[in-house]
Amino acid sequence: MAQRLARAKRKIKAARIPYRVPEDHELPDRLRPVLAVVYLIFNAGLTSRAEPSLCREGIRLARILATLMPDEPEVAGLLALLLLTESRRSSRTRADGSLVVLGEQDRTRWDRALIEEGQEIVRACLRRNQPGAYQLQAAINAVHADASGVEETDWSQIVALYDQLFALAPTPVVALNRAIAIGELQGPSAALALVDELDLDNYHPFHATRADLLWRLGRHSEAKAAYERAAALAPTEAERDFLRLGGRSTTSKPPSLDETQGGSEAQLPTDEFGRRELS
């Protein structure tokens, strides 16, 4: 990191880029990369048990942006998304660091104050009717937060939101998430047909998703191979252990993308939609 900062400073000096506060009319063009960086900061904390302060820092920065730019709906959407994701963080892992899938999380441990704040922001975004990617992701998380359990989740609404998100951001990762939601409504065969159309061979949630769907279809040997491929690509030891166990934490069913993916849709290696989506 120190070397990257040093190189950036040299580049700025060589190019004689002035250090100044942007004019108001310049802010909209600069907003998207700023939001992406804030999102990356938050997700860096989400994926590392050693750096939870990064989640708090991401939320702090998002709040500052929302104060400075109250008329930007995507700023509000990002803040809502971070709050709703943060509300579940304490229930995502056990004391030994192992993952807890969405269906097994103790929802009484979810932070209701953060959920209520995030949902209120989502409702304000809906009233504005200027949908954007962060707002739609926040709305998806709000639907999950509404459900008292996985069985009560309104998957029809989630599919409709993913349809809107895919129209705005037609990336393979969004398509993968959308396929999972469709699978909850139409079954694993429908989801697998959509997933197998995607070119995401080096993306571990793709293989984790295929493994889950194959297992549910009774194609266990193929599922095992997909789990092994996902584990080989997974970035953290907790995820690798989880996937080596066939996507089971204790008595859980094999995971879907919602439970193992790593955000946005984040970590943003190629686009803005490769994060830990719904875990």
Residues in contact with 251: Cβ distance below 8 Å, sequence separation at least 6, in sequence order? none
Query: What is the rounded distance in angstroms from the CA atom of residue 79 to the CA atom of residue 95?
Result: 28
Nearest one of 127, 118, 131, 186 to 155, comparing CA atoms: 186
Nearest one of 253, 247, 260, 237 to 49, comparing CA atoms: 237
Each residue of 139-159: pLDDT tens digit?
999 999 999 888 899 999 999
Q: What pLDDT does 103 receive?
A: 78
Q: What pLDDT does 52 receive?
A: 75
pLDDT tens digits for the chain (279 residues)?
A: 678 778 888 888 888 888 777 787 888 888 999 999 999 999 988 877 667 789 999 999 999 999 999 999 999 999 999 999 999 988 888 887 788 888 788 999 999 999 999 999 999 999 999 999 999 999 999 999 999 888 899 999 999 999 999 999 999 999 999 999 999 999 999 999 999 999 999 999 999 999 999 999 999 999 999 999 999 999 888 889 889 887 665 444 444 444 333 333 332 222 333 333 433
Q: What pLDDT does 101 receive?
A: 80
CATH no. for 31-260: 1.25.40.10
Domain boundaries, the chain: 31-260
The encoded tokens of residue 27 equal 């802010």
